[in-house]
Amino acid sequence: MWYQAKVVVPPEAKPISVSDVKAQCRIDHDSEDGYLASLIDAAVSHIETLCMARFAPTTVDIMCDGFSDLLNIPEGPLSSIVSIKYVDISGSEQTVDSSGYVSVISGLDSSVRPVTGARWPEIQDGSRITVRAIVGFENCPPDVAHAMKLIVAHWNENREPVSIGNATTDLPMMVDHLICNYRRYP
């Protein structure tokens, strides 16, 4: 079983910027840049949660119960494994030698397996394995970036949860179409 990832090193930059959003929204002043930045954070988080993927390089620690869990890494896309730590049967923390395993990356999905002829070490009962990994797209796909900008523009224009007297739009379906190819299914 995997547990929620902890961000160790956040992305250096967001997948979209305030200037990207201002161009999308046709905003030519700076008075709401802070507000737009908060909407960007929310939109990025929303899309990453929907897709179960990260759209900028991020270093995370993820914990699991056993080495068999490494057959399906829950964060993606995987760039590299930094380390795999575990508690051995004597209670000491150990790091798996990086020459003893290989990352298998297939699009958004990935796994980590011992090299041919090797076995995972034994762990102390009840302990957890911690995988530190760099995950996320090096460059956010344009259709995902556009979906993020659409969400921010919609939230900027519609600041209340209910809009009375206005025509409805089909934003959710459009966003779903833009991000569908980047969804991970565990």
**What average pLDDT does this structure show over 30-48?**
95
For 168-176, the CB contacts below 8 A with 24+ separation are 174/147, 174/150, 175/47, 175/147, 175/150, 175/151
> Is residue 5 in a domain?
no
Residue corresponding to tokens 């991970």: 184
How many domains does the chain fold into? Answer: 2
**pTM (2 d.p.):** 0.85
Q: How confident is the model at residue 175 (pLDDT cuts 50, 70, 90)?
A: confident
> Is residue 1 in a domain?
no
> Could you give the CA distance from residue 70 to residue 110 in angstroms, rounded to a whole number?
9
User: What is the tens place of the pLDDT at every residue in 54-81?
Assistant: 999 999 999 999 999 999 999 989 999 9
Q: Containing domain of residue 62, as a range?
A: 58-135
Are the C-beta atoms of residues 184 and 110 closer than 8 Å to each other? no
Q: How confident is the model at residue 8 (pLDDT cuts 50, 70, 90)?
A: very high
130 and 163 within one domain = no
88 and 114 within one domain = yes
